[in-house]
Amino acid sequence: MDGFWEITYVEIAARYSVVILCTVLFLAVFELVTSYKNWEEIKKGNFAVAMATGGKLFGIATIFRYSIEHNDTIIQSVGWGIFGFILLLLSYFIFEFLTPKIKIDEEIGKDNRAVGFISMLISVGMAFVIGASIG
* Per-position pLDDT tens, the chain of length 135: 556 556 788 888 999 999 999 999 999 999 999 999 999 999 999 999 999 999 999 999 999 999 999 988 899 999 999 999 999 999 999 999 999 899 999 999 999 999 999 999 999 999 999 999 986
Quote the number of domains for the chain: 1
- In the predicted model, what is the mean pLDDT of the chain? 92
The amino acid sitting at 36 is: Y
- At residue 113, the 3 state secondary structure works out as helix
Share of the chain above pLDDT 70, in %: 94
**H helix intervals, the chain:** 2-33, 38-43, 47-70, 74-98, 104-109, 113-133
For residue 74, what are the domain limits?
2-133
Alpha-carbon span 13 to 35, nearest angstrom:
35
Residue 10 has what pLDDT?
85
Residue 94 has what pLDDT?
94
Which pTM was predicted? 0.89
Residue 30 has what pLDDT?
93
Q: How many CB atoms lie within 10 A of CB 103?
A: 15
Residue 134 has what pLDDT?
87
Nearest to 17 by CA among 87, 59, 68, 52: 68
Alpha-carbon span 23 to 17, nearest angstrom:
10
